[in-house]
Chains A and B, each alone.
Chain A
Amino acid sequence: MEGTILRTENLCAFFGTNQILKNINIDIPEKKVTAFMGPSGCGKTTFLRCINRMHELNPDARAEGKIRLHYEDVYQMDAMTLRRRVGMVFQRPNPFPTMSIEENVVAGFTLNGLKLKSKEKNEIVEDALKKVALWDEVKDKLGKRATSLSGGQQQRLCLARTVAMKPEVILLDEPTSALDPLSTAKIEDLLYELKGNYTLVIVTHNMQQAARISDMTAFFYLGELLEYDDTKKVFTNPKNEKTQNYITGRFG
């Protein structure tokens, strides 16, 4: 596919003897939003975590097959370098509690031992916070503890922390499922704006969310990729019967 940034070839993932993902072949387009959907336990989160090799943090976990980021095999790369190029936002906001708001934004740099001069740091902080529409709300309290923010603000802060590293791909694992509707709406707007500059892959349980913000949608079921197409097509004219059933709420 044109403008593919991420491609998987026969990706299989295991937890011990349990096979979670079965031969996933998918091309993820650059600078667009791709949504992973499917009922609980279908493997969409596992797949997400394979992309930045967080999957292997579990000692029983194993993956076979290839994942290519810009033609480079992800498993041939140094995992730490990979994770700087592929960022992740988690389900529950997890700002670092011992750091202030601005320290959190540049955490990616400090944790990687990259020293920033004060001027650079301020620019990065302002830039990232503006991108996630948090700047106006926190510009007067950048030195305050990150945990003093509300849930929605914290999640935006985590997004800012990821964005500050200028990743090539941003992975989002149900980023709004722990938030209230207002914060959810704010973040969805953000993602919609970010997609021009970043590639976003989002796992979501919320079909309306997928329909609203994504360009491509992939439907997973029991570890298999059943359908993958333009979001409009998947939602209005799904080819697979199971996709149809999921969308109409028959299960999941």
Chain B
Amino acid sequence: MVKGEPGGRSLFISKCIVSLPEFEMSNSKVIKNKIFLKSINGSAIFVMLLLVGFFLTLLYAAWPALRANGFSFLWGKTWDPVRDNYGMLPFLIGTLITSFLALFISAPFAIGAALFLGEYYPHGTVSNILRNIIELLAAIPSVVYGFWGLFVIVPYVQTFEHKLNIPSSGLGIFSASLVLSIMLIPYSVSLIRQVISMTPIQLKEAAYALGCTRTEVIMKVILPSNLSGISAGFLLSLGRALGETMAVTILIGNSPKLPNSIFSASNTMASLIANEFNEAVGSTYTASLVEIGLLLFIVTTIINLLGRMIIKKVSVKL
């Protein structure tokens, strides 16, 4: 084995190193590997348990209220902690109006920007810069949006409302929706832009070849063929809007009464919890708030799963 040839000695040394530890059945290594694989699997199970735990905890904590309030909770118009009379209709309405209004306000802007970045100018430095600037909107935390809105949006809204002879402080559904719509834009734009930019070029060329203008290609081919993706984008934005707390809490005026116009002060389900949870005394009061949280959890989960299903279908098609 040890010959006079160059490398002969190193052959010998290498063979020794390799043959000694190698052929030991290193039990510790096999065990270590098993532990590793088990903990990877365990972490995945943990995440699922976490979610289940969330649901069960909410259910458990809301139980006293579920029993005491019954189904009429959903359409009860009065939220009166003093008399232990709980109905969440005002907040359901507040949530729905705020979210949908924000969605409607943001929709044209989102589609416009998505078309610009996904169809008109999908490449190029300027386009990249603009895209990044719009994405920066997502970097601003909700509480800062609320704070900004308090000083910038609310005064304008107040002036506007006074012009309409509505006495108000500027706080209310309208202000909250305006700011919320700004917050939704980066997410809608991002998703819709991606979907639009992935429209198969054959489809577009077929339309151009028939003599369509760009607008017609957009309206007749691009937007219709991406309807699912665009819906998914809006659905997910809706989910975001429903769960949005801080900006809304700051701007919506914190009123337990049923809102009678978009300029009313109100509360959403999330902002109500934010405003009242820490002060809630008495088991029914707290449990009612948890009940609202449970509903919020269920609704946002359903919307997320729906949006996810649609996106999956869209990606499979591609």
- Chain A contacts to B: CB under 8 angstroms: 78, 80-81, 84, 112-114, 116, 120, 123-124, 126-127, 130, 164-166
Contact = CB atoms under 8 A, between A and B. Distances in A.
A120 B7 contact: no
Contact of A127 (B11, B22, B23, B25): B11
Interface string B109-151: 0000000000000000000000000000000000000000000
B21 interface: yes
B10 interface: yes
B18 A78 contact: no
11 contacts: A78-B25, A81-B22, A114-B18, A120-B13, A120-B17, A123-B10, A123-B13, A124-B10, A126-B10, A130-B7, A165-B18
A127 B14 contact: yes
B34 to A, nearest CB: 12
B220 interface: no
Interface of B: 7, 10-11, 13-15, 17-18, 21-23, 25, 29-30
Contacts of B23: 81
A78 B30 contact: yes
B18 A127 contact: no
B246 to A, nearest CB: 41
B15 A166 contact: yes
Contacts of A126: 7, 10
Contacts, number: 35
| Closest CB pairs A-B (n = 4) | A123-B10, A127-B10, A166-B18, A127-B7
A165 B19 CA distance: 10
Nearest to A117: B17
Nearest to B10: A123
A114 B7 contact: no
Nearest to A165: B18
Contact of A120 (B11, B14, B29): B14
A114 B17 contact: yes
Contacts of A84: 22
A116 to B, nearest CB: 7
Nearest to B32: A113
Given A120-B17, A124-B14, 11 more contacts: A78-B25, A84-B22, A112-B22, A114-B21, A120-B14, A123-B10, A123-B13, A126-B10, A127-B14, A165-B18, A166-B15
A114 B14 contact: no
Given A81-B23, A81-B25, A113-B29, A166 B7 contact: no
Contacts of B21: 114
B142 to A, nearest CB: 39
A113 to B, nearest CB: 7
A242 B15 CA distance: 44
A123 B17 CA distance: 12
Contacts of A81: 22-23, 25
A126 B11 CA distance: 11
